[in-house]
Structure 1
Amino acid sequence: MKKLYYTANVLLILMLVLLGLGSCKKSDTINLTENTVERPKKTIEYKKPESAVSYQFTNAKEWLKTNENDSTKMDIVYAVNRADKANLKKLDSVVIPADFSGDLVYYLPFPLHVSALEDVSKIIIFSYPTQTFAAYENGQLVRTGPTNMGRKKDPTPTGLFFTNWKAEKTTSTFNDEWELKWNFNIENKLGVGFHEYDLPGYPASHSCLRLLEKDAKYLYKFADEWVLKDKENVKVKGTPVVVFGSYNFDGPKPWLQLASDAKALNISEATIEKETKPFIQEILENQTLRETEKKTTSL
């Protein structure tokens, strides 16, 4: 009987230990879940065109006579032809969509979502071959528009950059008579940045990334400036900017292809992933530094 008594007690103790271990695992799971920080996912509902997007050529002056006062149509036509209001009027013909019922994002080449960028809080991407830009928040497209980048003689450098200093109004390093509005510098030594300036409808800058005024203002507020340790050393870099691809300066304007193939310039999600993958680690490391800096300064 004594042996059975001890055996029963041993079994009871083992059961209690196992139950204790089970409860610890459950507790650990709850704590891990509670401590997991999920980044807020930004979702934007864009209006799709009522019919499949297609394009055609039309006489610029004739089309403007009846459509110039329609701001919705004009915004799309400016973007599709990579030109601003003043320069669009100088064109003989323009590319226009058959259906203007959708939001601008459906007439420009960037994808609405990029899974590979979901961990990146903010990033700006410029496509040299399509002369367009896109701003993403955690993989969601939040802004897109046309750009005119560096001309053949002064090409815009490609690769990864970070926004650093900005100014609502400054002068060009090439010519002090050129006034640059809503300027955000991305390469300090070369004096390269994005800003509002004339968009003639082709790469025409001295390496900078020209934007329509409304887009320049948006990116001016969207991007972060660098944080400096002192006058010569950077503590935290600004918002990542990726410039990719090349432009065929000797060929016709790429967007003219849209009249025969509406998807000719489309940029796939896989392409964005490929172009940003080499830089993701550096981008995320700087992002962590910025988040830490914000917490420190807010204390």
Structure 2
Amino acid sequence: MKRITGFILLSTFILTSCNKEETIPNATLKRTIPERKKPKSFTYSYLDIKKVNIDSLKQEELDIILGVNRMDETNIKKTDSILVPTDLSGDITYYLPFPFEIKALDSVKKIIFFSYPSETFATYEYGILTHEGPTNMGKEIALTPTGLFFTNWKAKETISTVNDEWHLKWNFNIANGLGVGFHQYELPGYPASHSCMRLREKDAKMLYNFAEQWVLENEDSVKVKGTPVIIFGKYDFKAPKPWLALKTDPNALKTTEDELNRIIKPHIKTIKKEEKIRDAYTTNKN
């Protein structure tokens, strides 16, 4: 969705205690490692939706099933069959593909990733995974652009300029001239958007509050950029849904730290440069 403005274009380990803080080497910052409950060894079954009592699930269990199937509450009840893990007792991050830590980002305050091939997103704070969930990105005729972006303006609710019947809630734009951003909208379980990154409402609200807005010098100049967002990978629209591979291999979609390091490498200098600019602005402002 586009906004008409004068602005420029813009690990696998268990923590059984409470959230833990550690000091980052060679830094004065502290980061919190979330508590994670590891499920027992599990596999996936592809079940008729009639055999799954969705309404009887605990919220944490429902979140896992929705995450695994890249759907929202409304659409999962409309489908025929869904993937269901045999053990739903773990933290959702064990069922989704991002690694628990990226050491190359241990001095980066905040960053957001969107994975096109796995249709998932993740947030990291000082290199530690803090949130992960499903997304539905651009369909084949309206691909979501990939690369490094920065969050800019946000709105609790706005109207798409592509179609004025589309009300976009918890919208955060990342490419002002292109009209691309992330927001709450229905998740049918496959790339279906007009290039934006669709999210469940709870995830859209979280990202809305997590990311920073830009700071403008004037209508035509950005003084401070927002939170870095990296969108990566390609989706094979002619192949079966990638997550169906979990039926035979529960680790089929895992994204390793090394893979993300290769994706981050061309952008890390820019990310750290923009973070220094924001830090200096914040210090001077205070």
TM-score (norm 2): 0.89
- 1:110-259 alignment runs, 5 A limit: 110-259=98-247
SS in 1 for 2:218: coil
Residues 68 and 74 in structure 1, CA contact (< 8 A), matched pair in contact too:
no
Residue 116 of structure 1 and its aligned partner are, at CA, apart by 1.0
SS in 2 for 1:155: coil
Q: Which amino acid in 2 is paired with 1:61? A: K
SS in 2 for 1:278: coil
The one of 101, 109, 119 equivalent to 2:97 is 109
Higher relative contact order (CA 8 A, sep 6+): 2
Asked if 1:52 corresponds to 2:20, the answer is: no
Q: Which amino acid in 1 is paired with 2:203? A: D
Q: Which amino acid in 1 is paired with 2:250? A: A
* Structure 1: runs of 5 or more not aligned: 1-35
Which string of whole-angstrom CA distances, capped at 9 and with x for unpartnered residues, describes residues 100-123 of structure 1?
110100000000111111111100
Alpha-carbon distance in structure 1 between the residues aligned to 2:257 and 2:172? 27
Question: What stretches of structure 1 move > 4 A for 4+ residues in a row?
Answer: none
Which string of whole-angstrom CA distances, capped at 9 and with x for unpartnered residues, describes residues 142-189 of structure 1?
000000000000000000000000000001121111000000000000
Q: Which amino acid in 1 is paired with 2:144? A: T
Alpha-carbon distance in structure 2 between the residues aligned to 1:38 and 1:270? 26
Residue 71 of structure 1 and its aligned partner are, at CA, apart by 1.8
The one of 50, 53, 56 equivalent to 1:64 is 53
Q: Which amino acid in 2 is paired with 1:257? A: A
- Tell me which residue corresponds to 2:87: 99
SS in 1 for 2:121: strand
Residue 69 of structure 1 and its aligned partner are, at CA, apart by 4.2
- Tell me which residue corresponds to 1:29: none
TM-score (norm 1): 0.85
Residue 203 of structure 1 and its aligned partner are, at CA, apart by 0.1
Q: Which amino acid in 1 is paired with 2:200? A: L
Q: Count the aligned residue pairs.
A: 261
- Tell me which residue corresponds to 1:267: 255
The one of 63, 67, 75 equivalent to 1:87 is 75
- Tell me which residue corresponds to 1:39: 29
Residue 141 of structure 1 and its aligned partner are, at CA, apart by 0.4
Residue 37 of structure 1 and its aligned partner are, at CA, apart by 4.3
- Tell me which residue corresponds to 1:28: none
SS in 2 for 1:287: helix
Q: Which amino acid in 1 is paired with 2:97? A: P
Q: Which amino acid in 1 is paired with 2:28? A: E
Greater helix share, structure number: 1
SS in 2 for 1:124: strand
Alpha-carbon distance in structure 1 between the residues aligned to 2:246 and 2:161? 36
SS in 2 for 1:168: strand
* Structure 2: runs of 5 or more not aligned: 1-25
Q: Which amino acid in 2 is paired with 1:119? A: S
Residues 53 and 107 in structure 1, CA contact (< 8 A), matched pair in contact too:
no
SS in 1 for 2:31: coil
Alpha-carbon distance in structure 2 between the residues aligned to 1:85 and 1:45? 26
- Aligned-residue sequence identity (percent) comes to 52
SS in 1 for 2:47: strand
SS in 1 for 2:157: strand
Greater strand share, structure number: 2
SS in 1 for 2:33: coil
Alpha-carbon distance in structure 2 between the residues aligned to 1:111 and 1:245? 16
RMSD between aligned alpha carbons?
1.0
